[in-house]
Structure 1
Amino acid sequence: METFDLSQRTSVRAEDVAAFRRFNRYFTRRIGVLDDHYLGQARPLGEARLLFEIGDGVSLRELRGRLGLDAGYLSRMAKALEAQGMVRLAVPAHDNRLRMIEPTPAGRAEVAEQQRRADALAAGLLEGLTPAQRAELTGAMATAERLLRLAGITVETVDGASADARACLDAYAADIDARFPEGFDKAALVRPEEVTGDAGAFLVAYEEGRPVGCGALRRLAPGTGEIRHVWVHPGARQLGLARRLLAGLEREALARGLAAVRLDTHAVLTEAQTMYRACGYAEIPRYDDNVYAAHWFEKRLTGRSG
């Protein structure tokens, strides 16, 4: 069994770990996670959650990615639900590599009852609070969800020609094409060789296996790099991910011996300008001929970035 030594994780305080685990124990006990008959129904939480996540129908592959389950464990749960008449498993005609799962009428009825009981449980817990306290709790849970989502996102360096890199750049181009009054020409995107290996870096952020953000670094001049195409999927915005990508690109620049990074941005991207200034970037005169740029920034890097 793998062991973990908290002393090696110097950025995480033992008090924070203890508080997090204490909350987990309390919350899971209060909502009945440990009960083999979750919400009073004849199944444990794992099966109940799986039945809920199936929705109107989905592939087992997508469920694995969404729930982070081992393939064998997921298959056993799916077969158990099938034996109980809750779901149907099938192989679609268009792709014999996929296994699809969908609820039966009995499965749909159980999910509806599960929803009713879950709502009643939540309402019962909230009844003991005043309206102001409920609002405070709702706000705290929204903050917790945002931070946990950010904590669960991984940022990886990928080849600039990889499928994920190009998919992110396509999404970035479509996004800003819709926002720029003059549109955007994809020919202005960085080339794969500019952001791979010694020449630069391309970062992709993944949430539950799906690319949800990117950013690129390329060499601009001796000792200076340029950050390009920092983008976050609309569904992952307001988490703090753009700043995390920016910090990661700065670390990549330091690793390549660059003393400064520059970037430019369009006049309509006011939220990006605000972020860059908050992250230590100072506005400088024009340094390139980018037709889409109206503001230019630079940051001097130190031994520690982010």
Structure 2
Amino acid sequence: MSDVTLHIEPPSSPDARACVARYVLELSRRFDMGYDPSNAAPTDDAQFTPPDGAFLVARLDGRAVGCGALKRPLPDTGEIKRLWIDPGTRGLRIGRGLLTALEDRARGMGLSRVRLDSNLTLTEALALYRTCGYAEVARFNDDPYAQMWFEKVLP
């Protein structure tokens, strides 16, 4: 990941918006039922800003190739959202780097655990979560696109 940089920036930044748009497009193509963000669990950009959240953009050689967000839904718990990596850069460990950076940010916020949800069609994401120590847990939200829920206790 020597040519990859990770930066916290506003979710409204041009690169953040571009990554989220590409994330939505990919989910729309991959999910059997399509993907309409207005039907997903609601999010507000303010949830992804310090001090109670963060939005990270990953850049490879200066080009935005991934993103991930963290919010604090409970006093001791963070939730990771919008984790996405450009398909052309998958396999370069950028997703792992983003996930680790979001976990570090959660620790810095004094959180003791992080959660995330996923869809069964996102096999690459599911493999990443499992290899990074996430365990399946019971449903913790009403997102209609979520089919699996995970949690990791932060050391």
Structures share a fold, TM > 0.5? yes
Partner Cα distance (1:240, 1:176) in 2: 21
**Post-superposition shift, 1:190?**
3.2
SS at match of 2:97: helix
Corresponding position: 1:289 with 2:137: no
- Give the RMSD, CA atoms, in angstroms: 1.1
Which residue of 2, 10, 30 corresponds with 1:179? 30
Query: 2:14 maps to which residue?
Result: 163
TM-score by structure 1 length? 0.49
Q: Percent identity among equivalent residues? A: 46
Partner Cα distance (1:173, 1:232) in 2: 12
**Post-superposition shift, 1:199?**
2.4
TM-score by structure 2 length? 0.95
Partner Cα distance (2:43, 2:65) in 1: 19
Which residue of 58, 64, 69 corresponds with 1:216? 69
Which residue of 75, 92, 98 corresponds with 1:245? 98
Which residue of 101, 106, 111 corresponds with 1:258? 111
* Residues 174-207 of structure 1: CA deviation (Å, up to 9, x unaligned): 0111000111112236321110111200000011
Higher RCO (C-alpha 8 Å, min separation 6): 2
Query: 1:203 maps to which residue?
Result: 56
Partner Cα distance (2:94, 2:3) in 1: 11
SS at match of 2:73: strand
**Post-superposition shift, 1:253?**
0.5
* Residues 119-172 of structure 1: CA deviation (Å, up to 9, x unaligned): xxxxxxxxxxxxxxxxxxxxxxxxxxxxxxx21110110011111111110010
Partner Cα distance (2:106, 2:78) in 1: 7
Q: Where does 1:97-108 land on structure 2 (aligned, <5 Å)?
A: none
Q: Where does 1:119-158 land on structure 2 (aligned, <5 Å)?
A: 150-158=1-9
Query: 1:136 maps to which residue?
Result: none
Larger Rg: 1
* Residues 56-93 of structure 1: CA deviation (Å, up to 9, x unaligned): xxxxxxxxxxxxxxxxxxxxxxxxxxxxxxxxxxxxxx
Partner Cα distance (1:167, 1:193) in 2: 18
Partner Cα distance (1:281, 1:155) in 2: 22
> Gaps (5+ residues) in structure 2?
none
Query: 1:301 maps to which residue?
Result: 154
Amino acid at match of 1:247: T
Corresponding position: 1:272 with 2:132: no
In terms of fraction of residues, the more helix-rich structure is 1
Partner Cα distance (2:26, 2:43) in 1: 16
SS at match of 2:82: strand
In terms of fraction of residues, the more strand-rich structure is 2
Partner Cα distance (2:128, 2:61) in 1: 26
Which residue of 76, 82, 87 corresponds with 1:234? 87
